Structure formats: C-alpha cells, structure tokens
Structure 1
Amino acid sequence: MLQNTGGSRPDDVFDEPRSGRLVAWGNAWLNGATSPDHAADGIRGTDDRHAVEGVDGADGAGLTLALGRLRALGATGLRLALPTAGHPLGLTGPAGFNQQALAVGEAVLTVGAPLPLGLVPEVVGHGPEGDRLIRVLWRAAPVEPGVPADVPQLRDAERELAEALREATALLMRLDVAGGGPAVQRALEAYRRRREPELLAPGYPPRAVRVLQSARQVRALLALAAVDHGAAVSAGEMTAREAAMRPLGRAARRATVAAYNAMVDEPAREER
C-alpha cells in the first residue's frame, strides 16, 4: 500500500532535506562540476526513484531529462527554501505555492529562467518498515521572481551560527540533557557514532561546507534537547527551554539555506 510520507524522512532528523540534495547536485551539474549521472545519483541518495511533473517538455521524466529541460528553459541555478509557519524562508510567492512548500517544509526554486519554477517533493513509501521503497515526485509550478525571503549572506550566517552553537551548548549544559533519561542517552550515543555524509556537492566553496556543518551540529543539539523534553521536569522549565531553543532552530535553518544557495547567491553578491 502506498503512503505519503511527507517531505522528509521522520526517522532521521539529521538527514539533509531532499530539496537540499536537488539544489546542491543540480547546481553542481548546471555549473559543470559533475556529470548528469552523478548529479542524479546524488539527488536520489537512497531513494528508489525520482520523477518530475509540471516541467514543460519533461512531464513525468526522470531527474537527468528534467534537469536538462530546466536548463533549456533558461535555469542557471537552483535555490533552497525551508519555510515554517510564520517564516517563509527562501520563498518568493505566490501564496498558493508557498502553502504547498510550507506543508512539507521545503522547496526548490529555479534561478535565471524567464519564467521561474518552484518544485515541491511528494514522497511515497511502498512496503514494510525496514524494506521500504521510497519514490519522490517533484511537482513544479510557476513562482514569482524576486529576492527570496530572509536568506542571509554566507558570512553573516557563519557568524550567527557560531553564536548559536555557543548558546546551544550552554543551554544543554544547564538542562543536563545528557542525564535526561535513557532515550536521551541513546540518541546522544547514536549521534556520536554517526558518520557524517559528504556535504553539498562538487563546486561549492569551503565556507558553505563549514556553515552547513555548523547548522547540522545545531540541529543535532536541538533534536537531542527535545528527546523526552530533555531534563525539564516542570511545565515552566519546558516552556523556558523551548523559548530558548526556538531562535537557535531559526538560525540553523537560515544558515542551511544560505549554504545550499551559496553557489548561486555568493557569486551574484560579489558582482554587485
């Protein structure tokens, strides 16, 4: 039985968003830093199949043909959006597309085309847990041209993340998250054992890789703090902890978007 699993896999909060993989490897290919086949493999990751719907001349096609068609339509790059309620990070409109992106928490926007498109992933799993086939359908729709909402420059994101890391570390120490129960202990140990995947794709600047690595560390710390509500035992303590962590999550998302979009945005900023 088919089941819509949403925009990202819920069993691993540390996985990069599928829209991030599409942006990173799509930009690498559009800039000549990798081959079409390697780009398609990087975008798919461990998924079984990706297809694209709504791109003129490539409706229902696989990744390689769809990327080629986007370039033929004038796309010179891709940008990531990671919106949440009240924070349309990386989006440009219209409202209908923004709502679709918000529903899954991610989207991709084309850059350079006369008629820009946005793509939102629809993820479907088939089969039992542990032996599931994951298929992704990217639904494309027109979006408005313009500057994406609230995306910082890479250097500003790096500075903001450095401050966020210090605050997150101090917060976890105050809450004694490592002593917050068996679930926290298991999550912390799993993260320590985790081998970090290759970040971004060929052609990205080293600063973008550093910023994304920092953003992943902040996300990991926040996820661990949320397990079993950390060591907070009262409603007041839980409310205070959530309020303290909220700006850290926002900073991590902004930095993540800035890192993935660096191949498009940073050269453009240097030219201005």
Structure 2
Amino acid sequence: MAGKASPDDAASAIVGDDTVHRVAGLPGEAAPVGLTLALGRLRGLGVTGFRVALPAPGHPLGLSGPPEFNARALEAQEAVVGFGAPHGLVPEVSEVGPAGDVRVEVLWRCMAVREAPPADVPSLGEAERELAEALREATAVLTRLDVAGSGPAAQAAIDAYRARAEGPDESVLAPGYPPRAVRVLELARRVGLLVDVAHGAQDVGGAVSASELGARAEALRPVERVARRARVAAYNAYVEGVARG
C-alpha cells in the first residue's frame, strides 16, 4: 500500500506457507478474488496502509468499530483495519485435505470500519518501556515455576527464546519500518516465548494445586497483554508515522 513492494511480493509474503488467500466482500466484486487483485483494488479505493488488531475477550486491542466488524474480529482474534479509506479485513482460516496432507486456506472478509483511533494501542516508546517491565515479571514467574525440570516442551520454548535473544531479525517487518519497531516486535516476541515457557511448565504438572495454577495464570495475564499491545504498536508503526505527517 505504501509503494515499497510490488503487489505480487506483498501477496506472497502474506500467504507464506498457506495454500491460498482470497478476499470476499470487496466493493464492486460479486465473488471472492485473489489477494494480488484485492490489494490493488483496496489501494484504488484509497487504502494507503493497514493497522493490525489483536483483540481478546474484554480487550478490543486495535479495533475502532463498528460493532459488526469488532464482533467478527474478536471471534477471529485478529484483523487488519484500513488507513485512508474505511475498509477492514477479518480472516476466516480453514484446513482442507486428508491427514498428513492438510493445507491452510484463508478467506478474508472485507467489511466497513469506522475511521477512528484504534483502541488501547501504545506508542513505540510506551510499548518499549512496558516490555522491559514485562520481561522482568515474566522472568520472575519462570523463576518461581522452576522450569529447569519441567520437561521437553518448556525446554524447547527456552531454546527458542535463546535463539531470539541473539539479535533482531530485520525481516520481521516489511520495508519502510523504523528500526525501533523491529526492536519492539522482537522484544514482544521474546516476552511471548517466556510466557509459553511458563505455560509449558504448568502443563507438565509444575503446580501442586488448582489454586496455584490459577495464581500463575493470573500473574501471566498482564504480561501477555503487554506483549500483545507491543506487537500491535510495532506492526502499526509505519501507518502511525504517516498519520503524524
């Protein structure tokens, strides 16, 4: 949408390892169309960028309305909201094919959105500060869980965390993003991996009672929330920069 990548390259990056992505409900289109055509059509309608929304129950993160769009986005727990024109996309993900050859297909529903500031999205600076605190909190939770002997799932998550800690991957965001957005997204992913470690330790019976499991989940909930807010702030950084002029 910013003109920094071709429509074909953008569509290929979006599809990744999935089989196919199509877009339904585009203005002027009676049937679903391919992603490359859809991106071009949306750009022609005035969309110059997208904000990401990662809502969860009780937390409409990144959404701006109306209620119909918010409800679908909450059900999917993700959506993109157009910037420059009031169009948003919500994915419907399905798996097709026999066992051993399962393929993922995505149908994006294009719907009207409200042109308003997205809910609860921090600035990159705020997100970075919150993540630093969340990293300390997640580490403290892991220390209490004593994950060293918590089994292969927790160990695999620890290994993934250590690999992430080696340095930021510039390819995690599309061309045109500021370096700070890359740092924030990588840190958010590291915090998310630490939360996965903690959940993995719980899954193998690290807790001695249901009440202790509940206490640990409660301790992790704000950490997860901060990581999600930071991810949205990072993904939306380019559009926010454009909005500020």
Scaled by the length of structure 1, the TM-score of the pair is: 0.82
Contact 1:204 1:263 survives alignment (8 Å): yes
| The one of 31, 43, 48 aligned to 2:19 | 48
Say if 2:158 is the partner of 1:205.
Answer: no
| The one of 220, 233, 239 aligned to 1:264 | 239
Contact 2:160 2:193 survives alignment (8 Å): no
| The one of 180, 187, 197 aligned to 1:214 | 187
- Matched with 1:12 is none
- Matched with 1:13 is none
- Find the aligned partners of 2:61 and 2:201 in 1 and give their Cα distance: 28
- Matched with 1:84 is 56
Q: Could you tell me how far 1:185 is from its partner in structure 2?
A: 3.0
Contact 2:157 2:193 survives alignment (8 Å): no
CA deviations on 1:194-223 (whole Å, 9 max, x unpaired) are: 899730111111111111101111111111
- Find the aligned partners of 2:100 and 2:160 in 1 and give their Cα distance: 18
CA deviations on 1:48-87 (whole Å, 9 max, x unpaired) are: 1111001113441111110111111111111100000110
- Matched with 1:153 is 123
| Greater shift in the superposed pair: 124-133 or 202-211 | 124-133
- Find the aligned partners of 2:227 and 2:82 in 1 and give their Cα distance: 23
Q: How do residues 1-272 of structure 1 correspond to structure 2 at under 5 angstroms? A: 30-58=1-29, 59-113=31-85, 116-189=86-159, 198-229=171-202, 231-269=206-244, 271=245
- Find the aligned partners of 1:245 and 1:156 in 2 and give their Cα distance: 20
Q: Which AA in structure 1 matches 2:174?
A: A
Q: Secondary structure at the match of 1:123?
A: strand
Distance 1:104 1:207, change over 3 A: same
Contact 1:57 1:69 survives alignment (8 Å): no
CA deviations on 1:112-141 (whole Å, 9 max, x unpaired) are: 11xx01211011111234422211110111
Q: Secondary structure at the match of 2:172?
A: coil
The runs of at least 4 aligned residues of structure 1 exceeding 6 Å deviation read: 193-197
Q: Could you tell me how far 1:91 is from its partner in structure 2?
A: 0.5
Q: How many residues align?
A: 239
Q: Which AA in structure 2 matches 1:102?
A: L
| Greater shift in the superposed pair: 176-185 or 208-217 | 176-185
Q: Secondary structure at the match of 1:37?
A: helix
Contact 2:145 2:201 survives alignment (8 Å): no
Q: Which AA in structure 1 matches 2:27?
A: D
Could you tell me which runs of 5 or more consecutive residues in structure 1 were left unpaired when the two chains were aligned. 1-29
- Find the aligned partners of 1:189 and 1:265 in 2 and give their Cα distance: 34
Scaled by the length of structure 2, the TM-score of the pair is: 0.90
Contact 2:161 2:194 survives alignment (8 Å): no
Superposition RMSD in Å: 2.0
Q: Which AA in structure 1 matches 2:229?
A: R
Contact 2:130 2:226 survives alignment (8 Å): yes
Percent identical: 59
Q: Which AA in structure 2 matches 1:232?
A: A
Q: Which AA in structure 1 matches 2:190?
A: Q
Q: Could you tell me how far 1:250 is from its partner in structure 2?
A: 0.5
